Amino acid sequence: MAEINWRTINVDALDPDSAYNFDLSTFTPNVQPVSTADVQTLAGQVKQLLRGGDQEGALAGALENVPYGADAQGKDIHLATVTEILQSIRQAEMTPILQKMHQAHNGAELCDTLMKYLYKGMATPPPAQPARASTAQQGGFSQIGSRAGAGEGQGHGMSVLLSWHEKVSSRQEGCTPSRIAADSKSSLSK
């Protein structure tokens, strides 16, 4: 009788509930691939609504048409579009827009999606600012640009996202960070 090395037996393959016995792709949602051109078209349509003064419609349009099947560039474009919409809405208009959005038939899902974009926006580093060059003058003094240009958009953008986070989390009781992290559609990341 041949000796069997019991340490080399894969016991998971013998378990009927093991991942070896069924396809793991059944756990992931079935998303359709979305091209970057389609995401850019959607961004153009949403920005057209924004230019027309319909911030609520632009936000709802961006949150209802999330490109889950897009590549990293498409997701970055959509994140920039959502961030631009959020930054264009004044603080006094945030609560009424959230109330209308929450009362819609898919309001809870829209608020969850908004919260995902808020977290993604806060986690994304701002674009690198170009270095400012100093120019020598005839008098021997150098002209260095003002400090306001170095990252002024970064602080403003983060404060807008934090304001939205405060409004959304106080508005919707069920929207917690753990719920967002556990959501199966949280594929906003790359």
pLDDT in tens, 140-167: 554 444 444 444 455 678 899 999 999 9
Q: What is the pLDDT of residues 13-51, one digit of tens each?
A: 888 887 777 777 777 778 889 999 999 999 999 999 999
Q: In 3-state terms, the chain is what percent helix, strand and coil (to 5)?
A: 60, 0, 35
User: pLDDT averaged over the chain?
Assistant: 80
pTM above 0.85, yes or no: no
CA distances to 27, 30, 170 from 23, in Å: 8, 14, 40
What is the dihedral sign for C-alpha 30, 69, 160, 84?
Answer: negative
The angle formed by the CA atoms of residues 178, 179 and 183, to the nearest 5 degrees, is 115
Contact 55, 85 (CB under 8 A): yes
With pLDDT > 90 as the criterion, what percentage of the chain qualifies? 48
Domains of the chain: 11-185 (1.25.40.190)
